[in-house]
Every structure is written in C-alpha cells, then in structure tokens.
Chain A
Amino acid sequence: MENKVSKNLYMIPYALWIILFVIAPILLVLYYSFFDIEGNFSLVNYKNFFTPVYLQMTLSSFWYAFLITAISLLVAYPTAYLLTRTKHKHLWLLLIIVPSWINLLLKAYAFIGIFGAYGVANNFLEWIGIGSRQLLFTDFSFVFVSVYIFIPFMILPIFNALDNLNPSLLYAAKDLGASGWTTFRRVVFPLTIDGVKSGIQVVFIPALSLFMLTRLIAGNRVITLGTAIEQHFLVTQDWGMGSTIAVFLILIMFLFMGLTGFRKRGA
C-alpha cells in the first residue's frame, strides 16, 4: 500500500514529462501536417509530398544516409576490431570517443578551413600533383564530414560487441578447423551483428535529418529531409509542410527501429 502511493508520487513529474514532451509533440506535428500555409485544414501537404520534387529529395536523402552509414560501417568495423586487440583497449576507445565530445559545430567549422580554397586539403592535392579544386560545397565534402562525425558512434557499439565476445569461441572455431576468414564470417560477425545494428541505428536516422552540415559544408547542394524541415519551419514558415515531412521522418524512424529493434547504444 505504502509502496504504491510513493511509487505514484515518484512517477508524477516523469509522467508529466512523457505526456507533455513525448506524446504531445508527436500529436502536434501530426495535427499541423493537416493545415496548409494559410491555416486551412487540408490534405494538400500530403499531396505535395508525393510530387516528384519531394520524392526525389526523400530518395536523395536516403541515398546520402545510406552512403554515410555504409562508409562509416566499413571504416568502423575494422577499427573496432583492431582496437579490441590493443593493450589498454579501453583507453584507446576513450581516445576515439573524445573527438565526439567536441562541439559538432566546431568540427564542421574546422572543415570549412581545411576544405577551403586555400586550405590544407588543397595544398596537399597541389603537392601530390593533382592540383587544387573545389572541395567545399560538394557532396564529397558533405559525406566525408558526416562520416567523420558519425564514426565514433559506429565504433562504440561494435567495439562493445566484439569486446563481449567470449575468446574461447574463437579457439573453439579454430579447433574445429575454421580458417581466420571462416571464423570471422561464421562466428565473429554473427555474434556482433547486434553491435552493428545499433551502430547503424545511431548513424542512419541522424544522417537522414542532418541540416546544419548541409548548410555549412554542402552549401545547400545536398538537401536532406532534415534540411527541408528546417527550411519550412524557420525560413518559409510553412509549418504544415514541415510537419508533413516530419511525420514521414517519424514513420521512417519507427519503421527502422522496428526492423532493427531498439537497443541501448553500445549494448
């Protein structure tokens, strides 16, 4: 009895938070998606979303998110694997994480300098004889900087999965005659797939919704779903259309979470 009362007391602020800041915002976004720019109830936003302009934008947003996730994974898996084999692996892991603690904006800003017309990247290209070229405001720089930013988040869950792997399983596989590659393909990778999944989760959805990088690094050459939402909310003030795109982004998010299953990051 006593227990129940105090439990409910604990839950009041938390329950209020769930109602006001989790449920209400989603419902409000849904509600707003049914109003056009004049504030009339209509389905025009949904109709617009299925026009080639928006569909193409969605598709390209997906394409970039896919590229960023795939490249991050290709770099992160071997890195995580090699990290688990170092001495003081947790210290090295921490050093991988530290850059992610630096404000995102500052890192983006650093790349403005590095990829700038007279930046160090062009100096390097000059030096190896390729010659300087436009790097900033290209999709290459957008993908590169995005991967740079997401890499630590991809490494972490994979590292933890690899680290939790019982080493005697590897000996068992060897003992049963598996080669290094077979051991990896048949034992290590299947057992760390959960780490890979959570890595993909923490990269893919944010990669769909990046908007700051598209402006600073891609110079509006890349428009993601996130950029479109920001544009509609803060520039054109068309909250209805912005909400509609947000509704689709939320749907994609739930779908994606359903497919990969929610996991604590790093679990």
Chain B
Amino acid sequence: MERKSSFAANIFLILIFFILYAPIFYLIFYSFNSGGTMSGFEGFTLDWYKELLHDTRLLIIVLNTLVIALLSALISTVIGVLGAIGIQAYKRRQTKNTLLALNNILVVSPDVIIGASFLILFTMAGIQLGFYSVLLSHIAFSIPIVVLLVLPKLMEMSPTLIDAARDLGASQWNVLTKVILPYIAPGIFAGFFMALTYSLDDFAVTFFVTGNGFSTLSVEIYSLARRGISLNINALSTILFVVTIVLVVVYYYLTQRSGSGAKGVDFRR
C-alpha cells in the first residue's frame, strides 16, 4: 500500500516538474534550430545568437531594462527601508495597520490597474511617457515589496538591542547605522533583490506607461511575439534563463545564509 502510493506520488511530482520545465527547455532547444520555426528541428546552428548580438536595437533595450531595474531597485530599497523603520517606530497598532494596509494596496492590485492609474497620473502631472515614467512606476510598485521584506526583520529585532546601544553611549544615528541597519541587512538584500526581479519581469505596468521611444525587454518580446515566431526570442530566452539561474543561486545562497530559507521568494506575482 505505502509503496504503491509513493510510486503514484512520484509519478505525479515528476509530471508536474515536467510540465513546469518543458516549455522552457522547448524554447531553449529550438533556439539552436537552423530551420527557423519552433517545429521540426532541422539542424544545429548558433545563427540566432549571432543575430541577437548584432541587433543593436535589442541590446539597447536590454541595457534600458537593466538600468531601470538597478535604479528602481536601489531607490525603492532606500525609501522602503526608511518607511519600514518609520512604520515600526509607530507605537499605536491602529496607525501601523493603516499604514500597512496602504502599503499593501499596490502589492495586491492587478498590474492593469497600476498601469492604467499611473498612466492617468503621469498624463495629469505632465510627465512625458518614457524613461522617467517607467522608472517612477517601477520604484512605486517595488517600495511595498521592500517594506514587506524588511518589516519582519525589524519586528524580530529585540527592542533591548536598541536600549543596549543607547546604554553604551550610541547616539540616534549610531543606533541606526551600527545596530539597526546591520541587523536588518538580510531583509534589505532580499528586498533589493526582489525589487530587481519585479522590475525585470514587469510587463503590464511598463506597457501602459512607456512612450514611443522607450521600451523594455518584456514589452519588446510582447511586440515580437504578436508578430509571430522568431527564433531570436528563443536565443534571448536561453540567455535570460541562464542569467535567472545564476541569480536564483545567488539569492538562494544569500537567504540560506541569513537563515530565512526559501521563504523570501514568495512575493512574486
């Protein structure tokens, strides 16, 4: 009985993993197809990769995407960490809960709503759609994620640590830089990392708030995919897959070291 059920269980799990990974490896496999379609493998080629590397337009888009991701992650981490410290410092439960509810609105809002409402906001404010509107949007939707990842670290910190630092002569600034920030550092890294992946992965919000001259990778893939199959995209996805795996390994290492296990990965849309 036991044995049979565990056999069925293994089959089930293998099937799930197969379904989850098949499309990705399907993409990677056909990126080496000289035939030019995603059906019928004709022969091995690296042409699509070569073509990709010579596509300066696409390379600029990749660069844009990275700049937006890094900048938005950096800025949202700073604002988010300060916000989390601020929220934690409020003693009244009611105030804390209200702030947290406001914080979480953008986490639970569908991308379309965020995109559409930001489009109205930027239009009303007279901000031209392009690099800055995309950057601002990415900062905006990353801040609450950072707060949610930093806040548990702050809550887990014993208040006597701050008392102890004060007791040993630390000023308010010393307390922040020598005790609080080092203590919550794992949360800050996780927040930064998550903001980075949110930004890299975002399609819907960027799609709404970007103008004619500016595009990110997701938006570009969308417009390419709407036109049909082009193995350039397969080559690109292979590269992105490798990069993602590297990032996952780095992230896994960071969170394992801070002892929070794989729990940090759970905020993705």
Contact = CB atoms under 8 A, between A and B. Distances in A.
- Asked if A and B touch directly (CB within 8 angstroms), the answer is yes
Interface of A: 2-3, 6-8, 10-11, 13-14, 17-18, 20-26, 28-29, 32, 75, 78-79, 82-83, 85-86, 90, 92-114, 116, 118-120, 123, 148, 151-153, 156-157, 160, 201-202, 205-206, 208-209, 211-212, 215-216, 225-226, 229-230, 233-234, 239, 242-243, 246, 249-250, 253, 257, 262, 264-266
Interface string B44-55: 000000000000
A253 B110 CA distance: 9
A102 B143 contact: no
B183 interface: no
Given A18-B102, A118-B37, A152-B268, 17 more contacts: A10-B86, A13-B83, A21-B136, A22-B102, A22-B103, A25-B118, A26-B105, A28-B120, A102-B237, A103-B221, A109-B233, A113-B30, A114-B23, A151-B16, A253-B108, A253-B110, A262-B108
- What DSSP secondary structure best describes chain A's contact surface? helix
Given A10-B83, A246-B113, A265 B121 contact: no
B266 interface: yes
Contacts, number: 253
B interface, size bucket: 35 or more
A216 B262 contact: no
8 contacts: A14-B143, A28-B124, A32-B120, A86-B13, A94-B248, A112-B38, A212-B204, A234-B208
B218 interface: yes
Given A11-B86, A93-B262, A118-B37, A264 B148 contact: yes
Contact of B116 (A83, A151, A233): A233
Contact of A229 (B105, B116, B217, B236): B116
Given A17-B140, A22-B106, A157-B266, A101 B113 contact: no
Contacts of A266: 263, 266-267
Contacts of A209: 110-113
A108 B40 contact: no
Interface stretch (B56-64, B66-74, B184-192, B239-247): B239-247
Contacts of B115: 233
